Structure 1
């Protein structure tokens, strides 16, 4: 399932807390993006059509919750980036971030811990 960047902002709001009304989601994500409530509702409708979210009636409004797990989306997105930019290999990705100065000492420590787990 392909989720656009704008749709992912709506999904992040729903992953943080659900179920939520469209108005609640708009209150969180619209202003920082310069969107209107109508824009957020359009994004929610797109996500409904993609079956990434589901809706339940709550009186006169609908409450939305994610059907797509954040972990599944993150795995698919990560794989796409690694495949497209680094030929499916993770080492060149890490090397890129290392050379660009994006790895913090905490990142390096975490990578070492992960490698040690893999080697066990």
Structure 2
């Protein structure tokens, strides 16, 4: 499982790879209030998890994702559903509707998705 901080690094790599630790730091360091050591620690953790690979480029390493963003999103969303909503989507949507977190656009998109899913059913 990838931590929230590791996911920030992965997002940089998913957008544009390969990247060096210094390039990652330049992109997110200030917003995250990270130092170079933090980025390198996160990259080492991601290497151990086999989420990224490193290739030597002179005196530095360039990092690229091994874990596809789609797979990460699938794993993370499944984990959330399993932990909080017993693996069911309807209670998740109900939760957001109760909290008034669904915009009119969200509702329209959900209706469209449900119609498409209904059309696909035999």
Superposition TM-score tier, normalisation by shorter sequence = over 0.9
Matches of 2:30 and 2:36, distance apart in 1: 9
Tell me, what secondary structure is at the counterpart of 1:35?
Answer: coil
- Map Cα deviations across residues 41-92 of structure 1 (whole Å, 9 max, x no partner): 1100110111100011112211101000010010010001111101111000
Q: Equivalent residues in 2 for 1:86-101 (5 A)?
A: 86-101=85-100
Partner of 2:12: 13
Query: Alignment RMSD, CA only?
Result: 0.8
Secondary structure class of the residue paired with 2:38: helix
Relative to the length of structure 1, the TM-score reads 0.96
Superposition pairs for residues 20-35 of structure 1, below 5 Å? 20-35=19-34
Q: Secondary structure at the match of 2:42?
A: helix
Question: Which aligned pairs between 1:1-120 and structure 2 lie closer than 5 A?
Answer: 2-120=1-119
State the TM-score, normalizing by the size of structure 2. Answer: 0.94
Q: Residue 27 of structure 1: CA displacement?
A: 0.9
User: What secondary structure does 2:25 align onto?
Assistant: helix
Question: Which consecutive unaligned segments of at least 5 residues does structure 1 have?
Answer: none
* Alignment partners' CA distance in 1, 2:22 and 2:60: 10
